[in-house]
Structure 1
Amino acid sequence: MIGMASSSSLLRMEEIAGKGRGLVAEKSLKAGQIILTESPLILYSASPLYAPSSSPFTNCDHCFRILPSHTTIFRCPSCSHHTFCSQRCLSLAQNSSHSNWVCKALIFLLQHPNPTLLQQHPPERQVQARFIVASHNLFLQSPSQLHTFLSLHGTPDTAIFYVAKFLHSLISPLFPPEGQLSVDLTAQLLAKDRLNSFCLMDPYSPDGPQRSIKAYAIYPKATFFNHDCVPNACRFDYVDTGDEHNTDIVFRLIEDVPAGKEICISYFRIGRDYCTRKRILMEDYGFTCGCDRCKIEANWGENQGEMNSDLPHVRFLQKHVCERKNCAGTMAPLPPKDDVPSNVLECNFCGNLKEI
């Protein structure tokens, strides 16, 4: 049994036909109910080491909140490359995400005697180097937690082994004798990260550029939510809030779920068309979705959804896709109060509230 949002367990893990392990409702659950809140096991920046970030914002290197231009910025006293929003975040980072070893490793990569080794690779490779540093730091601080991460789904392929060999050759000189990571283990880590990481995003702006990814995070329990193109739950994060648990991820139900039914999320925004969904799922996750919506839409022509507005999944999309400009996030009810369902939907992408 995995830990859930309340003292009584709301979910249980089961083998789902054709999917592997998944999460089902332990009892009848209500729309808007929070079913899981989880802190990240691994959290690392999505900014390349050398190439400029696509984000217009500068973030704290521990909590990833935006650094306001008018406030005091706290720099790492050892490297000065990494900045923090408060003395508290700096102190926390020095004992966790920006430990002395991490600081030395990032300095080594940033000041490498042959920087073209990494610069000639795509920016994605530079972000993967950050991930390997963060993973090794987890191994040094808590081997049992790294074991938890390695228990997640994901098997390295030839392409990942190629990347693992390169990154291992680059970073392995920094590994202390008691904490060596092999090429095989590096490949395993990269494979797990590819299938299980969640994105933490820049704030939404209706007239601004497309939201950039500010950080990647691993939430071990949340990785067991399977995908469905008509999900009954969705994720929320509130990174740029003042809460000390701002990097936690929260899952809420979109609709009532009876006991024993699988709870699924969508791995992307639910309004995407069939061909786009099919491509993303195969390229990023290695499977083809066989949900009822996909079976229907596989045979549709252009704009046919508008002519089938009586179909359940079309009505679902009309209700739960946010209509704000530059958004199209998923709208879920606010949590019930005193067991009374909420009549307000919240968008998990832009934060828009809509009364129904």
Structure 2
Amino acid sequence: MSSSQPNQTGPTPPPLVRLVEIPGRGRALIASGPIKPGQVILTDSPLLVYPSSLSSLPSFCSRCFRLLPSQPLPCSSCHVALFCSVRCLSLSHPPLLCHALPSLLSVPSSSPDLLFLLSAYSLPSSSVLQLLTLHSYSILPNELTQTLHSQLCSLIPPNLIPMNFNHETTASLLSKEKVNSFCLMNPRSGTNGDVEETGVRAYGIYLSASLFNHDCLPNACRFDYIDDPNRENNTEFTIRALHEIAEGSEVCISYVRVRRGYRVRQRMLMEYYGFRCECDRCKIESQWKENQGDEEVGGDENGEEEMEEMEGEEDVEGEMEMTEEEDGEDFPHQYFFLRYVCECGGTLAPLPPSHGGIPSDLMECNVCGTVKKDEFGSTGGA
């Protein structure tokens, strides 16, 4: 999600990390000093949150995106959006989106892109400029962006046309969204403690979080608590360290599920983000014989899946399963999966250290929310 050049007008890194240029890798965040296991590296609020699809509207508040109560409050203007409380209803949702929602019901195939564009164009002009500073990867053909812009023109009345509304801005916004959006997931629940697969309820653009580069064995991961009733800023999320990170080391998250096999990861990263991963794990797994490394290693997904249509579009094809031939030197990252991958497939990270700086011996899953004792007990790196 990081761009290839530092941008002084764009997002700024949090204090625990600093922005640098790494030859051959581009812009990156490195640790300003030692980072403890579980330490919160970033707390970020979204510049923009928008529904994932029209089908999510009946289930989630159109303002805070929490699960709706049994008797939600409808928008008195569009009668499509629903809200969880009087407060959210009073704050409402973007006027462009409100005006367009009834008409969007007739073009469901284009609705995800249009939901984003209508929400983005509803931002203050200064926020739109911030969004346009993010890295982009154009994966939409020009004909499609032309079609989407024409659809926008038919949805937006003359009195609501935003500043800088033109095809070029529309195309640029779409290219930013594809590589910088994070998924806010549906709740995961099941019977007898099982965790069910889930989908995406909304997408969010987080300026500072977009600075983190990808690694297939990340040293940090994202936690969100969107349905927590005690959190006022419930769409805010944190990025925490999995293990100790030395000063000067790059801090990375994973853009796709950690358990993905080599070929699947490479395909997804190229398709959604436009790059081929050459991390240490990929270098090792690229040498495995055909079909090894495209099955399951343990766990299901790591909760960092932003653009897979992702943590919710559970492509189970080609996941990894370790064989006897893949231990030892052929599978040196086995420890990572044993310690940091939850049974549900999420990523485990220690709870934040105590006020005295003592690392926690409890691990929290960023998908199912399970908190359990760290069976390994070491606080060093993976």
TM-score, normalising length from structure 1? 0.85
Residue 36 in 1 paired to residue 53 in 2?
no
Q: Which residue of 2 aligns with 1:317?
A: 337
**Which position in structure 1 is the counterpart of 2:69?**
68
| Letter paired with 1:262 | E
Mapped partners of 1:30, 1:170: distance in 2: 49
SS across alignment from 2:223: strand
Q: Which residue pairs with 1:233 in the alignment?
A: 220
Q: 1:101 to 1:274 in 2, by over 3 A?
A: closer
CA contact (8 A) 2:94 2:119 kept: no
2:175 matches 1:191: yes
Tell me the equivalent position of 2:104. Answer: 109
Bigger drift between 243-252 and 165-174 goes to: 165-174
Give distance in 1, aligned partners of 2:128 and 2:238: 22
How far is the alpha carbon of 1:102 from its aligned partner?
2.9
Determine the C-alpha separation between the residues in 1 that align with 2:200 and 2:30.
Answer: 30
Instruction: Give 1:259's aligned amino acid.
Output: E
2:78 match? 79
Query: Deviation digits for residues 5-52 of structure 1, max 9, x if unmatched?
Result: 6xxx1111111222221111111110100010111111100123xxx4
1:76 and 1:163 map into 2 onto residues whose CA distance is: 31
* Structure 2 CA distance for partners of 1:248 and 1:283, relative to 1, 3 Å: same
Change (3 A) 1:289 1:177: closer
> Aligned residues, how many?
325
Which of 342, 346, 349 pairs up with 2:364?
346
Please say if residues 20 and 28 of structure 2, whose CA atoms lie closer than 8 Å, have aligned partners that are also in contact. Answer: yes
The percentage of counterpart residues that share the same residue type is 43
Distance 1:102 1:134 in 2: 6
CA contact (8 A) 1:155 1:188 kept: no
| 8 Å contact kept, 1:40–1:218 | yes
Within a 5 Å distance, the mapping from 1:99-138 to structure 2 comes to 99-110=94-105, 115=106, 118-119=107-108, 122=109, 125-138=110-123
Letter in 2 for 1:244: E
The one of 285, 295, 299 aligned to 2:283: 295
Equivalence for 1:161: 142
Flag the structure with higher helix content. Answer: 1
Residue 161 of structure 1 and its aligned partner are, at CA, apart by 2.2
SS in structure 2 at match of 1:215: strand
SS of residue paired to 1:179: coil
1:330 has 2:318 as partner = no
1:103 aligned partner, one-letter code:
C
Equivalent residue number for residue 14 of structure 1: 20
Give, in whole Å, the separation in 2 of the partners of 1:101 and 1:266: 34
Q: Is the 8 A contact 2:195 2:368 kept in 1?
A: no
Relative to structure 1, the CA distance from residue 151 to residue 306 in structure 2 (aligned partners, 3 Å threshold; closer, same or farther) is farther
Question: How many Å separate the matches in 2 of 1:63 and 1:341?
Answer: 33
Q: State the Cα deviation string for residues 78-109 of structure 1 (Å, max 9, x = none).
A: 1211110000111123xxxx133331132343
Q: Distance in 2 between matches of 1:278 and 1:347?
A: 25
Is the contact between residue 233 and residue 254 of structure 1 (CA under 8 Å) also seen in structure 2?
A: yes
Aligned equivalents of 2:35, 2:220: Cα separation in 1: 11
Q: Distance in 2 between matches of 1:236 and 1:244?
A: 16
1-structure distance, mates of 2:186, 2:369: 13
The residue correspondences of 1:155-304 to structure 2 (distance < 5 A) are 155-157=137-139, 159-173=140-154, 174=156, 176=160, 179-206=163-190, 207=194, 209-242=196-229, 243-301=231-289, 302=292
In structure 2, how many angstroms separate the alpha carbons of the residues matched to 1:354 and 1:103? Answer: 43
Cα separation, 2, equivalents of 1:319 and 1:106: 45
1:231 alignment partner, SS class: coil
Deviations 1:99-134 (A, max 9, x none): 333311323434xxxx3xx24xx3xx2111100100
TM-superposed deviation, 1:351 = 0.7
Q: What is aligned with 2:302?
A: none
Partners of 2:332 and 2:199 in 1: CA distance: 33
Question: Which runs of no fewer than 5 residues in structure 2 stay unpaired?
Answer: 1-7, 293-320, 375-382
Letter in 1 for 2:369: G
Q: Deviations over 1:182-210 (max 9, x none)?
A: 11110110010001100000111244642
SS in 1 for 2:69: coil
Give secondary structure in 1 for the equivalent of 2:238.
strand
Gaps of 5+ in 1: none
SS of the aligned residue for 2:122 comes to helix
